[in-house]
């Protein structure tokens, strides 16, 4: 019976895999054209410091496919990484983000996500320097967000690249912290300026006392290592208050502002302005 079942599964699976593969191939092809066809845009999500001042916008890539509509980055970024297209895509993101940021009179910083493939190529420091020169953005206004996965597997090369990037004066952020396997003390060997607590911990703050303990430990350990801490995915006032009470330096999430197109930035009303009491009252009125 097992044999029969195996054969059955085999027969059932192959056409399906073909379909998936074909779909993927054609999406890959479409992505290649997306840059020329102006189907790619950046959205920007605000980050606030602990006194509720807007300090940074994170650039998040968006792709609107001509027939399929919006495709999430969690779907097309891995595809771009496998095909190598991420190098061209990543350069476009960096250039567009810096160009946009130079137009912000308020002097906000811009945070750009980098793929490990871009780092390990070995040409990022030169590219970043060239784009800063070209756009005129001061290096202190650029933050680069990286995830920890690649650091473990390519520690030597990664370290060298990160040191060179940091020497340009940009700030390095360890994104999605807590989802990988590396310890904070190990990562302290890398020249990070701050780390971003992953959304999964923030989301469990209210219901799960161990998530609370983990987040508190991350925050206090980071402080001892002279790292700043950001929390991503803040969706509720309770999460916001807990993180602030623990001394989290920066906060980001749908509660404070969703990713938005560049044109909306100048109309954006931060939910947490100077009149905090009033703001909280307003928030409590929200559904
Ligand atoms: P990330 O860098 O960790 O970005 C945060 C993601 O969480 C974004 O999803 C953002 O829209 C979402 N988010 C922010 N606040 C909240 C919240 O309060 N609740 C919930 N549920 N979600 C929230 P997005 O834009 O879909 O991006 C997903 C991931 O794709 C990013 O995670 C990043 O790893 C990657 N990505 C996006 N743009 C780029 C890019 O230009 N280059 C590279 N290499 N990766 C990118
Ligand atoms: Mg990020
Ligand atoms: Mg993140
Ligand atoms: Mg994340």
Other CB atoms within a 10 A radius of the CB of residue 73 amount to 15
Does the ipTM exceed 0.90? yes
Tell me, letter by letter, the H, E, C secondary structure of the chain: CHHHHHHHHHHHHHHHHHHHHHHHHHHHHHHHHHCCCCCEEEEEEEEEECCCCEEEEEEEEEEEECCCEEECHHHHHHHHHHHCCHHHHHHHHHHHHHHHHHCCCCCCEEEEECCHHHHHCCCHHHHHHHHHHHHCCCHHHEEEEEECHHHHHCHHHHHHHHHHHHHCCCEEEEEEECCCCCCHHHHCCCCCCEEEECHHHHHHCCCCHHHHHHHHHHHHHHHHCCCEEEECCCCCHHHHHHHHHCCCCEECCCCCCCCEEHHHHCCCCCCCCCCHHHHHHHHHHCC
Higher pLDDT, 140 or 14: 140
Q: How far is the CA of 6 from the centre of ligand 4 (A)?
A: 38
User: Which class for 107: exposed (0-12), middle (13-18), buried (19 or more C-beta within 10 A)?
Assistant: exposed
Q: How far is the CA of 59 from the centre of ligand 1 (A)?
A: 9
Q: Which residue from 41, 113, 120 has its CB within 8 A of the most atoms of ligand 1, so it is best to mutate?
A: 113
Residue 70, pLDDT above cutoff 70: yes
Give me the chain's average pLDDT, please.
Answer: 88
Would you place residue 35 in the very low, low, confident or very high pLDDT band (cuts 50, 70, 90)? confident
Would you place residue 152 in the very low, low, confident or very high pLDDT band (cuts 50, 70, 90)? confident
Average pLDDT over residues 175-191: 82
- CA–CA gap between residue 255 and residue 238 (Å, rounded): 11
Q: Which atom of ligand 1 is nearest to the CA of 145?
A: 2
Average pLDDT over residues 104-117: 96
Cα angle value 274/278/284 (rounded, 5°):
125
**Structural contact between residues 235 and 216, judged by C-beta atoms closer than 8 angstroms:** no
Quick one: pLDDT at residue 33?
93
- pLDDT per position as a tens digit, 211-269: 999 999 999 999 998 999 999 999 999 999 999 999 999 999 999 999 999 999 988 98
Nearest CA to ligand 1 atom 21: 233
Higher pLDDT, 282 or 49: 49
Quick one: pLDDT at residue 189?
85
Which pTM does this prediction carry? 0.90
Beta-strand relationship, 40-49 and 260-261: antiparallel
Average pLDDT over residues 262-279: 71
Quick one: pLDDT at residue 281?
54
What percent of the chain has pLDDT above 90? Answer: 71
Side-chain-side CA neighbours of 66 within 13 Å: the count stands at 11
Residue 44, pLDDT above cutoff 90: yes
Would you place residue 275 in the very low, low, confident or very high pLDDT band (cuts 50, 70, 90)? very low
Average pLDDT over residues 204-213: 94
- pLDDT per position as a tens digit, 125-138: 999 999 999 999 99
Structure tokens at 192: 């990070």
Residue 9, pLDDT above cutoff 50: no
Quick one: pLDDT at residue 14?
59
Nearest CA to ligand 1 atom 23: 233
Please name every residue paired with 47 in a beta bridge, in sequence order, or none if there are none. Answer: 56
Q: Which atom of ligand 1 is nearest to the CA of 232?
A: 15
């Amino acid at each position: 019976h097992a044999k029969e079942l195996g054969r059955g599964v085999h027969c059932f699976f192959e056409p399906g895999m073909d379909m998936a593969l074909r779909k993927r191939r054609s999406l890959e092809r479409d992505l290649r054209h997306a840059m020329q066809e102006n189907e790619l845009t950046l959205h920007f999500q605000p980050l606030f410091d602990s006194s509720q001042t807007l300090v940074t916008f994170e650039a998040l890539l968006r792709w609107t496919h001509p027939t399929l509509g919006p495709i999430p980055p969690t779907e097309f970024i891995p595809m771009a990484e496998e095909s190598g297209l991420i190098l061209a895509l990543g350069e476009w993101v960096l250039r567009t983000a810096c160009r946009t940021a130079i137009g912000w009179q308020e002097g906000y910083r811009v945070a750009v996500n980098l793929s490990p493939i871009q780092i390990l190529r070995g040409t990022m420091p030169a590219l970043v320097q060239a784009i800063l020169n070209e756009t005129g953005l001061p290096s202190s206004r650029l933050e680069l967000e990286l995830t920890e996965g690649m650091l473990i597997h390519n520690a030597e090369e990664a370290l060298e690249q990160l040191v060179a990037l940091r020497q340009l004066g940009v700030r390095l952020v360890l994104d999605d912290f807590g989802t990988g396997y590396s310890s904070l003390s190990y990562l302290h060997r890398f020249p990070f300026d701050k780390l971003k607590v992953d959304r999964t911990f923030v989301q469990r703050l209210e219901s799960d006392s161990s998530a609370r303990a983990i987040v508190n430990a991350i925050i206090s350990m980071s402080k001892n290592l002279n790292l700043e801490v950001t929390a991503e995915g803040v969706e509720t006032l309770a999460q916001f208050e807990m993180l602030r009470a623990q001394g989290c330096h920066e906060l980001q999430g749908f509660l404070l502002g969703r990713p938005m197109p560049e044109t909306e930035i100048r109309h954006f009303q931060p939910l947490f302005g100077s009149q905090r009491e009033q703001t909280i009252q307003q928030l409590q009125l929200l559904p």
